[in-house]
Amino acid sequence: MSRFFKSNIKSSEITPEHKYWNRPLGRRRVLKLGATAGAAGLSAATLAACGGESSSSAAASAPVTVVASAKTDELGGALNSFKEITNYNNYYEFSTDKEEVASLVGNYKVPSPFKIEVTGLVNKPMTFDLDDLKKKFGEEERIYRLRCVEGWSMVIPWNGFVLASLLKEVEPTSAAKFVRFYSYHDSQMPGNSLDWPYVEGMRIDEAMNELALMATGLYGNPLPAQNGAPVRLALPWKYGFKSIKAVTKIELIDSEPVSTWKAANAGEYGFYSNVNPNRPHPRWTQANERRIGESGRRDTLMYNGYEKQVASLYAGMDLQTNF
């Protein structure tokens, strides 16, 4: 516990995503970051005092079962613990401080039943009840690497269903070339660092790829709030910010959507954002990464190690300009 919070996670190690935006809120953000340092320390101390795998705030309402079919991913990387995965989160609707998010979601509730609207260039626009989708498609386990553009990574056992299954339900028309996703947002969320709702997007062939998962759970538990409850995308070949949390609306459209991070800083965050060790971020290398729970750094793999599954989507494209 203390190793995780006190030395393994060094906030000075990399420059976080939010530090250098050319946006008018910049000054306020810096002040806010200073003010939350104490709160983050407090939450770490509180969690340490509870101890055990089930002590995170995610477990406040339900016992944590921690079920996974394997101890590693297919490359032999150890799964990150439930505690690690639920206490180091990028969820800017709550906070820009990864170690603070878990302490802020205690009373947060999403509407139940939770609705997902799928609309746009489709033959059958529909609003789904998430519980119905879970029953219909099931919740298979997928052990995926998650690589944040900030240079850290985790191995996470998600549960969920394939995004393509959902998209096929609404029958996209031939005019549908892109998919835009919107996050749930309401006044329970205190963060003011970006324009809400958080928006992401992909080409339709990327969205239809077998790897693109609608994640509804983690280690066999319902998805914890800090990880994007009740359903978020898991796109393991792309930088983490593409894996939008709390998906409540999906639109099929004919032109490339502008995602939240590209709108905030197009020079730093491209539309594709595929993991690519050969395409440095303007402010830092992407050649290697720190796996949470490990010391030292490991090499970053092309498409985060999913080259076989996704490289054909980008055949012939210049990956330096289409970053």
Closest contact distance (angstroms) between CB of 97 and ligand MTE is 12
Identify the CA nearest to 181 among candidates 247, 93, 232, 122: 247
Tokens 């240079």 — which residue? 151
Q: Which residue's CB is nearer to ligand MTE, number 103 or number 227? A: 227
* Sole binder of ligand MTE in the list 33, 148, 229, 292 (CB under 6 A): 148
- Decide: is 269 part of the binding site for ligand MTE (CB under 6 A): no
Q: Which residues contact 290 (CB under 8 A, 6 or more apart)?
A: 13, 151, 152, 153, 296, 297, 298
212 lies in the site for ligand MTE, by CB under 6 A: no
91 binds ligand MTE (CB under 6 A): yes
**From 33, 130, 143, 148, residue interacting with Mo ion (rule: CB under 5 A):** 148
With CB under 6 A as the rule, give the number of residues binding ligand MTE. Answer: 17
Least gap, CB of 174 to ligand MTE (angstroms): 30
Q: Are the CB atoms for 234 and 146 separated by under 8 Å? A: yes
The answer for residues whose C-beta is within 8 angstroms of residue 167's C-beta and 6 or more apart is 118, 179, 204, 207, 208, 250, 252
Nearest to 142 by CA among 57, 237, 61, 230: 237
Per-residue contact flags (x/-) with ligand MTE for residues 229 to 258, judged by CB under 6 A: -----------xx-xxxx------------
HEC readout, 63-76? CCCCCCCCCECCCC
Q: Which amino acid is at 312?
A: S
Examine residue 93 and tell whether it contacts ligand MTE (CB under 6 A).
yes
Candidates 86-94, 99-107, 170-178, 220-228; binding stretch for Mo ion (CB under 5 A): 86-94
Residue (98 or 249) nearer to Mo ion, CB: 98
Residue 92 binds: one of Mo ion, ligand MTE, none (C-beta under 5 to 8 A by kind) = ligand MTE
The tokens for 32 are: 């806010």
Cβ 146 to ligand MTE shortest distance, Å:
6
Going from the C-alpha of 305 to that of each of 213, 273, 297, 298, the distances in angstroms are: 16, 15, 16, 13
Contacts with ligand MTE by CB under 6 A lie at: 17, 89-93, 146, 148, 183, 198, 227, 240-241, 243-246
